[in-house]
Amino acid sequence: MGFNFNISFGNPQPISVEHTGKDWMYWMFSSRGIKNTMLTPQQKIKVILSNPACLKVFALNADLFSLGKINTDEQEDYLKTLRKSPNYKQNWTQFKWDYMFWNMMGTAYLWKTGGRLFNDQNTLQFLNPANLDWKPSTVQKMMDLILTKATYKDIMGEVVKYQFGNGKAKYIPLSEITPLHDLSSGMNDNFYVGISRIDALYKIIANSEEALDAKNINVRYSGKWMVSGKQDPNNVNELPLGDDEKIAIESSVNGNKQVHANKSMIDIKRFTDNMAALKLDEAYWSDYYAIGSMYGIPRDILEAYVTGGKGGSTYENQEKSLVRHIEYGMKPKGQELTDALESILDIEDTTMTWQHLACYNVFEAERQNVVTLKMNNAILAKANNLKLADYE
């Protein structure tokens, strides 16, 4: 691990640390680290999986998205009629969970093997972005404007190296990979790689990590005590506490006796006096809400996910917030996924819905109340020879 110390006043220089082995974590969460560097896919994954606040937000969205169903007008859970599972390692629920997780990280790479047919010989799965190794020559081609179909076909004929954990690798044609971006692909030279909100969240995640580390240190020190002998500052003849006296005091304080006799008074203090005053938990949860807000999750939902629905908001408001998040947060991502599947599998008229979830019952109950009220008004208006508008 290499360090480059540069001492200056008023404008601290970043500490340069090699990003190899475990060193990247020091660089990542150093308060004086490189603030504006875009993280690699490997670093993004480690940040997400090692930070509880960030992982909690990712799991919340992925759990909710995986509950959606992809239907057609005639068939519910239509994809299951094509194949029982998308691949041999996971079911359709896990497939949808993976999509939302990778999409939130920046880009979900959907790999379809073997042409448009979808049977036991072909599979659908999402690739781990950290395992993709792009050739510089391929990225160079992507930098140019694509104005003709021939240029596009030429790029689609390129391959990307996919590295497996066992040391093996596979070269996959770009034509078999469909990138599904969280934000935009137009800001990178490689249009297969989308921009990521994780880069913008770097400082918040770093603060959350610092708060957790600080709490861990204080918890460790909360069980330790500082014992010191009292010395009269006016008595120049009184000697400081000697090693033998230190050992005697430590032994007596750490023993089982109820009464201890000492030559002079001693002070006993905790290393950590008041952990609550540090407000480390408050700082951590503040970062959790900030990360959730970046992904458009209403605070009511974030609170309910922490408290089990016992937060400050009512149950009805939490359910309404959940439906709002589905309609404006989940559905656009579901639309992007179904558009991709329609193109890849040569199918059409698929939609992703969550209306089977209990949260939609709140709006259904309100709708039924409105219908009942209108029917009662119509009956009263007819009985009294009045217009319906008089009762509305």
| Antiparallel, parallel or unpaired: β 124-127 and 169-173 | unpaired
Residue with tokens 């400050």: 312
HSE-up of 95 (CA within 13 Å, CB side)? 25
What is the pLDDT at residue 228?
59
Q: What is the pTM of this model?
A: 0.72
HSE-up of 212 (CA within 13 Å, CB side)? 15
Residue with tokens 């994954």: 45
Q: Quote the CA–CA distance of 97 and 115 in Å, as a whole number.
A: 24
Number of domains in the chain: 3
Handedness of CA 87, 88, 91, 95 (dihedral sign): negative
Contacts of 361 by beta carbon, 8 Å cutoff, 6+ apart: 319
Structure confidence by residue, pLDDT tens digits, 127-157: 999 999 999 999 999 988 889 999 999 999 9
**Ramachandran quadrant class, 262 (left: phi over 0; alpha: psi -120 to 50; beta: rest):** beta
Residue 52 within any structural domain of the chain: no
What is the pLDDT at residue 362?
80
Residue 261 within any structural domain of the chain: yes
What is the pLDDT at residue 294?
94
What is the pLDDT at residue 151?
93
What is the pLDDT at residue 175?
93
DSSP 326: I
Domain final residue pick, 244, 270, 296? 270
- Residue 311: pLDDT band (50, 70, 90) is low
Average pLDDT, the chain: 78
Overall average pLDDT of the 290-297 stretch: 94
E strands, the chain, are 69-71, 107-112, 124-127, 132-133, 159-163, 169-173, 177-181, 225-229, 266-270, 351-353
Residue 285 within any structural domain of the chain: no
pLDDT at 2 over 80: no
Two tokens, residue 144 = 């140019």
Overall average pLDDT of the 195-201 stretch: 91
Q: Residue 181 pairs with which residues in a beta bridge?
A: 107
What is the domain extent for residue 31?
A: 1-37
Sort 322 into a burial class: Cβ within 10 Å, 0-12 / 13-18 / 19+.
Answer: buried
Residue 379 within any structural domain of the chain: yes
Q: Residue 173 pairs with which residues in a beta bridge?
A: 159
CB 322 within 8 A of CB 315: no
What is the pLDDT at residue 13?
38
- Residue 37: pLDDT band (50, 70, 90) is low
Residue 287 within any structural domain of the chain: no
CB 100 within 8 A of CB 65: yes
Two tokens, residue 341 = 């599947």
Structure confidence by residue, pLDDT tens digits, 201-235: 988 887 766 665 555 555 554 555 555 555 555 65
Q: Quote the CA–CA distance of 97 and 65 in Å, as a whole number.
A: 7
Residue with tokens 């190794």: 133
Q: Quote the CA–CA distance of 109 and 274 in Å, as a whole number.
A: 48
Closest C-alpha among 185, 183, 180 to residue 197: 183
Domain final residue pick, 270, 298, 324? 270
Residue 260 within any structural domain of the chain: yes
Residue 76 within any structural domain of the chain: no
Residue 203 within any structural domain of the chain: no
Lateral strand order in the sheet of 177-181: 124-127, 107-112, 177-181
Residue with tokens 């003849």: 237
Structure confidence by residue, pLDDT tens digits, 268-280: 565 555 545 545 5
- Residue 106: pLDDT band (50, 70, 90) is very high
Q: Quote the CA–CA distance of 210 and 29 in Å, as a whole number.
A: 7
Grouping H, G, I as helix, E, B as strand and the rest as coil, residue 88 is coil
Domain final residue pick, 240, 270, 300? 270
What is the pLDDT at residue 150?
94
Structure confidence by residue, pLDDT tens digits, 340-369: 999 999 899 999 999 999 888 887 666 666
